[in-house]
């Protein structure tokens, strides 16, 4: 990665503009970025508002200073995800690099809700409300939905 002004220029191994260079752009004019709604192995997920499309989105962004290899992996994740059209797979809306060189993609924002991880923790902890809300039959349906999405993706 070479620097040109404040924007990063990404090249392939031969010094030609690569996938990351083609994604170069400004994040600020299009998105109003809000609070963090999640964090994972690839980076943070932030609530954002897409001014162009007039909708709330989840914006997944790598930490600044991430390696080129990691940035390409995030772009690959977005490219693969956007090809999947399934009710249990979130659609990807946009992918790019902001003016500081941070790689990002946006996807459908799920309204605030309890995550599957939260539900599993409550069930493991023996929470009677969790068992009442998530009956055996409902848990089986959720697992089936996850399995169908994984099967579709692979």
Pick the closest to residue 20 from 65, 75, 82 (CA basis).
75
- Condensed to tens digits (0 to 9), the pLDDT of residues 41-98 reads 778 888 999 999 999 999 888 877 788 888 888 888 888 888 888 888 888 899 888 7
Give the fold, CATH level 3, of 2-108. Phosphorylase Kinase; domain 1 (3.30.200)
Beta strands in the chain (DSSP E): 2-4, 7-9, 31-40, 43-50, 55-61, 92-97, 103-108
2 alpha-carbon distance from chain centroid: 26
% pLDDT > 70, the chain: 82
Residue 21 pLDDT exceeds 70: no
- Specify the DSSP class assigned to residue 101: S
Name the E strands within 71-119: 92-97, 103-108
pLDDT computed for residue 53 by the predictor: 92
The residue extents of the domains of the chain are 2-108, 116-153
The CA–CA distances, whole Å, from 85 to 72, 81, 88, 154 equal: 22, 8, 9, 13
pTM of model > 0.75: no
Q: Is 61 within 8 Å of 47 (Cβ atoms)? A: no
């Amino acid at each position: 990665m070479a620097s040109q002004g404040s924007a990063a220029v990404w090249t392939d191994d031969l010094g030609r503009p690569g996938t990351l260079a083609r994604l170069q752009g400004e994040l600020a004019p299009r998105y109003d970025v809000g609070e963090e709604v999640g964090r994972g192995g690839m980076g943070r997920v932030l609530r954002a508002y897409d001014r162009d499309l007039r909708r709330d989105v989840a914006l997944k962004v790598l930490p600044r200073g991430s390696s080129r290899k990691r940035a390409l992996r995030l772009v690959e994740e977005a490219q693969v995800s956007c090809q999947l059209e399934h009710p249990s797979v979130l659609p990807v809306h946009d992918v790019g690099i902001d003016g500081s060189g941070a790689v990002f993609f946006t996807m459908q924002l799920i309204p605030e809700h309890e995550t599957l991880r939260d539900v599993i923790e409550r069930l493991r902890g023996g929470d009677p409300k969790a068992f009442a809300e998530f009956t055996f039959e409902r848990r089986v349906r959720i697992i089936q939905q996850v399995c169908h999405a994984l099967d579709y993706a692979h």
